[in-house]
Amino acid sequence: MLKRLLIVLSIIALGLLIYSVFVENIFSPRLSPKDTAKITLNDLNLNVEYNRPSKREREVFGALVPYNEVWRTGANEATTFETNKDLMIDGMLLRKGKYTLWTVPMENSWKVMFNSKQYEWGVNEKMEPMWDPNYDAIELEVPKQELDETVEKFTIAFDNKTGNLKLTMAWDQTLIEIPVKVHPNSGS
């Protein structure tokens, strides 16, 4: 009886291994790997979790990512932005907490939305963004900058080299910068 059980379990394990290698390919790296952008300044902690799609010789903005349409700002799961302090972003108050980050790339500028709803995934089964504008805490528009070099993987980072903190997003030959300041009355 024990011998039969071990044979059955071995067959099941082998079947799962074959399935995972040839069907799901779980051992290959993700095309859009997860990444995190973090910064700590004094008692301010900011954290962005996102997925990094690659250019892979494709035309990105205006093609892969259409102009004038809401983008999940990365790939796979919805991108999240978390702050432990109230912030001022482009003169608007963003309360401390966790948000999803959505964008609308346009030819000369981008709209950026900090949304209070948490979404399990970035798009639905029809590949439409799961973003619900009723939960937008703030929306702003920032100018698009052209880069001389190509950024292969979508990159979100924090830039504080001049003492003026910015949340940056870069991909292909496009860069946007979102100015971020701690609200003067922000508690801990």
- Cα 75 from Cα 90, distance rounded (Å): 26
What's the confidence (pLDDT) of residue 137? 96
Residues with Cβ within 8 Å of 85's Cβ and at least 6 positions away in sequence, in order, are 43, 44, 45, 96, 182, 183, 186, 188
- Cα 154 from Cα 48, distance rounded (Å): 13
3-state secondary structure of 166: strand
Across the strands, what pairs with 176? 169
pTM above 0.85, yes or no: no
What's the confidence (pLDDT) of residue 130? 76
User: Which DSSP category does 71 fall into?
Assistant: B
What's the confidence (pLDDT) of residue 27? 55
Most distant CA pair in the chain: distance in Å?
Answer: 73
